[in-house]
Amino acid sequence: MHWVPMVLGVVMLALSAALRGRTARGAAQGLAVLLVATGVILAFRRPGSAIHLPGWGPRQWSQP
């Protein structure tokens, strides 16, 4: 599921170069970057990922 926003963001970023309006191109590129960033965050939060972001799984603690 995390691949969907990443792929859509990269495709949107590639296709936004064809837009002529400066505002439209900037908005499309900004949305593309947000989509890719969302996909990356979702990929890192998966339990099987090599890099884990905080907030997944049980709390880990050690006794002082």
Q: Is residue 61 situated within a structural domain?
A: no
Query: Is 23 among the domain residues?
Result: yes
Residue 40: inside a domain, yes or no?
Answer: yes
Residue 64 lies in a domain: no
Residue 41 has a pLDDT of 84
What pLDDT sits at residue 63? 76
For residue 48, the model assigns a pLDDT of: 64
Sole residue written with tokens 């970023």: 13
29, 9 contact by CB (below 8 A):
no
CA 55 distance to own-chain centroid: 17
Q: What is the pLDDT along the chain (64 residues), one digit of tens a residue?
A: 778 888 999 999 899 888 888 999 999 999 999 999 998 888 877 666 666 666 666 666 777 7
Q: Tell me if 50 is assigned to some domain.
A: no
Residue 59 belongs to a domain? no
Query: Is 31 domain-assigned?
Result: yes
Q: What is the pLDDT of residue 47?
A: 66
Q: How many domains does the chain have?
A: 1
Rounded to whole angstroms, the Cα distance separating 50 from 9 reads 23
Query: In terms of residue numbers, what domain contains 17?
Result: 3-44
